Structure 1
Amino acid sequence: MVDVELLALDVETTGLDPRTDHLLSLGWVPVVGGRVVLAQARELRLRPPGDVDVGPSATFHRLTDDQLSDAAPLADALPLLLRALHGRVLLAHHAPIEVEFLAAATVSAYGSRPPLTTVDTMALQHRLLTDVHGQVAGSLRLDAARRAYGLPRYTAHHALTDAMAAAELLLAQVAELELKLGREVVLRDLSPQRSG
């Protein structure tokens, strides 16, 4: 995994449907050379468009309308995220959420989806926990997966914290895979998905 650069990304949104819901926060941190690069970690709060309010989603991520009133619009934040992602594999826990919200944002802003290679720590955890009979032994939630590796607990539903949590989880998963495989893990061992 030393040769692959990743960008752990987490988003907080008004809901789960990228066709109707909106991004409220982006958090990312690079994973380079098998290390989480905290010096390049970034979190951006986003002002929802027009008269959109955060609604009941605030009970999860604790982002309120007044906290987002002077935040950057998505159009200002998106280029920063795309620059950070350039040349890197996107890493997320349950990656379809991040992939689809990023795709919706780029289609709206630029007319097309970005080409992405994605590693999903939830899918990887599913693979690692599935026994020979196809049964999953344990929870796939981010916190539960981290506990299985003895990683510290973090408060959930905070974009940057969740991105760092996914990055740390991947490093633990890679270590487990290396033990199972008896060799260094390469990108294809992580079942990357390509989209765009």
Structure 2
Amino acid sequence: MFETFFKNWNRKKLKDKKYDFLFHEPTVDEYICLDCETSGLNPRKDEILSIGAVHIKGNKILMRKTFYVFVKPSKHIAEESIKIHQIRPIDLENGLDPQDAIYQLLDFIGSRPIVGYYIKFDVAIISKYTKKFIGIKLPNETIEVSSMYYKTRKRSSDYEFIDLKFDTILKNLNIPALGKHDALNDAIMTSMIFLKLKDVTPAKTTFYTN
């Protein structure tokens, strides 16, 4: 009941009714897996530099339906940041204006649930832009693959440590590493994690978050 109230309240704040489709009932068994490369780890002050996303339908990653853009930042990128995401200023020269990038992303996502690794961060920084451009935070449900992985690991006690590092999850699930800090590659690898875990995550638990 509360979720319905919040959804309707959020919907009323939508500035551009063109994007009302974000609140439509999603198609069953379709998902969007996405990843953002950013100038830092603070959603309030840092910016998106690239976005990669893929469409999942059933148990397939639709490689013909991918989304990958560079986004022009409003300020100079710190050297420390470049060392991490390896995106150079020259890579961003022909990047999209943030508003165009976000609008294209919303069209790609639709109302589908969004899959990701520590997806709350990606949604938080995307929502900073959507709130500015269309008046609302990204309303889609999210699915956290690290949570799914955690719930499928056998433990001898509730206090046993579970390594949730991305590389560890890939290795334990026998998923090939495609190369780090590339938003599209990260989205593809995360999609493979999701598909490996989708049917083995305990039914009594949920991997959806708001």
TM-score interval, smaller chain? 0.7 to 0.9
Q: Is the 8 A contact 2:32 2:113 kept in 1?
A: yes
Cα RMSD over matched residues? 1.9
Match of residue 31, structure 1, among 47, 56, 70: 56
- 1:189 Cα offset (Å): 4.9
Q: Tell me which residue corresponds to 1:76.
A: 100
Same amino acid, percent of matched pairs: 21
Instruction: Report 1:9-158 matches (<5 A).
Output: 9-49=34-74, 51-129=75-153, 131=155, 133-158=157-182
Could you tell me which runs of 5 or more consecutive residues in structure 2 were left unpaired when the two chains were aligned.
Answer: 1-26
Per-residue deviation, residues 160-193 of structure 1 (Å, max 9, x unmatched): 000000100011112433xxx5xxx6xx854201
| Letter in structure 1 aligned against 2:114 | L
SS in 1 for 2:151: helix
Per-residue deviation, residues 100-137 of structure 1 (Å, max 9, x unmatched): 01111111222221212000101111222262522355
TM-score, scaled relative to structure 1: 0.86
Q: Is the 8 A contact 1:129 1:136 kept in 2?
A: no
Distance 1:35 1:67 in 2: 31
Distance 1:105 1:159 in 2: 18
Could you tell me which runs of 5 or more consecutive residues in structure 1 were left unpaired when the two chains were aligned.
Answer: none
Distance 2:124 2:160 in 1: 26
Q: Tell me which residue corresponds to 2:208.
A: 192
TM-score, scaled relative to structure 2: 0.81
